[in-house]
Amino acid sequence: MTTSKASGSNQETETLSKRQLKAKTIHRNILNAARSLISELGYEKATITKIRKKADVSIATFYNYFESKQSVLLGLLADERELTAEAIDRMIEMPSDDPVVYLSNIILGALHPENEAIDIHMWREILAASLLLPEEHDRIEGLESERSFYSQQMLRAFDKMINSQQLSPDCPTEQVASIIYCISAHEFQEYVGGHFATREELVLHLRELISALLKPWILN
């Protein structure tokens, strides 16, 4: 009897895992379809019908995962955050010999990792559309989620630099982390908007800003 119950439990777990994997795959396919269509057609022309057809799902299945095109947009932003989390972790674990270079590398790990291409047109469309979200709650929730995530990563980096005596413990880390988030968000908008011709120009500009910001607390 015990063996039978255990076998039944294992089968239920396996079935649940398969369902979860299928659900994750469908969710990913919808986001990938949206990302591709937004890049190709722009946000306005990337309709729900086109998205769900490209993802090869029914209209009912689409609405099981996303309640609107705006929720797909927020899903894309959250998905990008997950995709960059590993890159940020990797940058935080790197040596922090130069605080300015160290922090700029972490920011770039989130915005535009080295040797990786980003779809400038897609990001231009996504950022423009995110500013026009009709539901104030959705817009605020998305922005707060982004701010919280990136600020926490900056605080990890600050702790590392303070512990290695590269940064003064007097540095108001939470406030500086918030400022760096604002700088990063603004400069990325400038980047996808064409203000910087190359990634290298963005790197140099970020380092100038971070150097000026951290100067009072960098220990020589």
CA separation for the pair 75, 65 (Å, rounded): 10
Both 146 and 81 in a single domain? yes
Alpha carbon distance 171, 155 (integer Å): 11
* 49 and 80 belong to one structural domain: no
Does 99 share its domain with 59? no
CATH label of the domain that carries residue 2: 1.10.10.60
At 106, is the secondary structure helix, strand, or coil? helix
Q: What is the pLDDT along the chain (220 residues), one digit of tens a residue?
A: 555 555 555 665 666 688 888 899 999 999 999 999 988 898 889 999 999 999 999 999 999 999 888 888 888 888 877 777 888 888 899 888 899 999 999 988 878 777 667 777 788 888 777 777 665 555 556 567 777 888 888 999 999 999 999 999 999 999 999 999 899 888 988 988 888 888 899 999 999 999 999 999 999 7
Q: Which domain holds residue 30?
A: 1-66
> Hunting for tokens 């910087």 — which residue is that?
196
> Are 74 and 181 part of one and the same domain?
yes
Q: What is the pTM of this model?
A: 0.73
Distance CA 84, CA 212 (A): 26
DSSP letter at 114 equals T
Do 19 and 125 fall within a single domain?
A: no
CA distances for 15 relative to 2, 12, 26, 205, angstroms: 20, 5, 17, 52
Amino acid code (one letter) for 32:
N
Distance CA 207, CA 203 (A): 6
Are both 85 and 58 inside the same structural domain?
A: no
Count how many domains the chain has: 2
What Rg value do the Cα atoms of the chain yield, rounded? 21
Domain check: are 96 and 140 in the same one? yes
Q: Are residues 87 and 196 in the same domain?
A: yes
